[in-house]
Structure 1
Amino acid sequence: MLTKKGKYGLKALVHLSYLPAGQLAFVNDIAVANNIPKKFLDAILGELRNAGFVQSRKGKDGGYRLARPAGDIKIGHVIRVLDGPLAPLPCASRTQYQPCEDCDEATCQVRHMMLEVRQAIAEVLDNRSLAAMRDSADDDVATVLKYQN
């Protein structure tokens, strides 16, 4: 399950993806525009900076921007940085595997199902860029506006 930290991190990255190349956004502006608590967003952006997704500059003219093009940022990687493994169970994780104490992994039907679930999640998130996520939202808004007029 995507946590609020992961959701807010993705919202902040989408926000930054709309900026012209090189332009910075203030944390407060990102927080207000996306309904994110500023203090929480500060911590999230720090993690995203440490992971190389965003760059920051301090001072009056400071703020945040994407560290690389939105098309080069994969959603699965962002979620792993902020929320950890994609797998719904530790025994189905590829990056942080942990055996379960209460079952035989070779015959556990729950584990085998969760391996499929993990693979399906990874297939979508690891093949979707931030740019594609942003653009699909734009397409959705355009469709809604078309039918409202």
Structure 2
Amino acid sequence: MRVSAKVDYALRATIELAAAAPEQMKGERLAAAQSIPQKFLENILADLRNGGIVVSQRSADGGYRLARPPAEITVADVIRVVEGPIASVRGERPDDLAYVGTAVPLRDTWIELRSAMRAVLEHTTLADLVERGGS
């Protein structure tokens, strides 16, 4: 599995927000805390806001916070919001693939891989990650 910078940054930012929950944090503070380029983070936070993972408040005291408790947001939720499906092959769902000849079993391998990734990503919450970090 290849994890893009966008997914890595989104997860780092949401874990930081989870550790601060229920308080909110300014984007600049989030970027500095996780060494994420601020402009890139602003775009990611917009995706997370549009996807219902974070909410924002504009004001002098404004900032970002999680839209739900950290125990209700999984790693898979964050990945899907910023990048789409957990596992795809050439942009297609493994179930929709068709192979011929000796490659036919490959489809089942992709489906098994997706299932294994989901088993971890859909059962690991932001709260779990904060707890593991000892914060």
Q: Distance in 2 between matches of 1:105 and 1:126?
A: 34
Q: Distance in 2 between matches of 1:73 and 1:20?
A: 12
Shift of 1:106: 9.9
Give the 3 Å change call, closer, same or farther, for CA 5–105 of structure 1 in structure 2: farther
1:14: which partner in 2?
A: 15
**If you compute each CA radius of gyration, which structure gives the higher value, 1 or 2?**
1
The one-letter amino acid paired with 1:99 is L
Cα RMSD for the two superposed structures: 2.3
The 8 Å contact of residues 21 and 66 in structure 2, kept in 1 or not, is answered as no
Shift of 1:114: 1.5
Scaled by the length of structure 1, what TM-score is found?
0.80
Runs of 4+ in 1 over 4 A off after TM superposition: none
1:31: which partner in 2?
A: 31
2:55: which partner in 1?
A: 55
How many residue pairs align between the two structures? 134
The 8 Å contact of residues 24 and 62 in structure 1, kept in 2 or not, is answered as yes
Unaligned runs of 5+ in 2: none
Shift of 1:111: 2.0
1:65: which partner in 2?
A: 65
Unaligned runs of 5+ in 1: 140-149
Q: Distance in 2 between matches of 1:35 and 1:104?
A: 47
Scaled by the length of structure 2, what TM-score is found?
0.87
